[in-house]
Amino acid sequence: MANRTGTYMAFDGLGQTDPTKSDFKYYATIQAWSTNKNIDFKFTNSHEKTYAVRDTSQKTTIYSRIQERLRASKNMLVILTENTRYTGSVLSYEIEQAIDVYKIPLIIAYPGYASILNVDSLSSLWPKSLKDRIDNVNAKAIHVAFKKDCIFDAIGQFHVNGKSPSSGKNHYSRETYVQWGLIE
């Protein structure tokens, strides 16, 4: 297996070529955090380890790049929103591969939340591929608010070379979110 140091980021592109009309904006936010010299947020982006693919690329090329990136990944950050499709997106394939083939722990981030304290209340946002794997206990995941401190901590902690979440429904405690100053 390749040197697994990267974080694979996954989101539903919603079939859009205009990134401002999809969940790509959250991926761009994480890239901005990583490149900002005033923010202590560094990680290895698995997408930067291989050749880029275009929206016009053949499906076999896209899937081949996904597999190549996942082989080099220690964890996967999945961004879920109310727009995430239940089926029919590349995100479903990425989740299936990450869990079934590469045994990668997932960090599932939800924009628009200050904390995630009840994972089941968010199950309506889960694509079928994720729901099935959480329900049959194959997924190892932590669910976090889409906040820099939450994501950075989870990336540093939960990976194939470190701690693995015990199930598909883990989350940080209320006290942890209070310590981060995200809730009172």
Q: Distance between CA atoms of 138 and 97, rounded to whole angstroms?
A: 12
- Helix ranges, 47-127 (H): 59-71, 90-96
Please write the tens of the pLDDT for every residue from 96-127.
999 999 999 999 999 999 999 999 999 999 99
Does the pLDDT at position 41 exceed 90?
no
What domains appear along the chain, each with residue ranges and CATH number?
6-10+17-179 (3.40.50.11200)
Could you report how far apart the first and last alpha carbons of the chain are, in Å? 44
Report the predicted TM-score, pTM, of the whole model to 2 decimal places.
0.88
Whole-number Cα distances in Å, 112 to 20, 57, 81, 178: 17, 32, 8, 17
Please write the tens of the pLDDT for every residue from 3-39.
788 889 999 887 777 777 778 888 888 888 877 777 6
Q: Distance between CA atoms of 72 and 90, rounded to whole angstroms?
A: 19
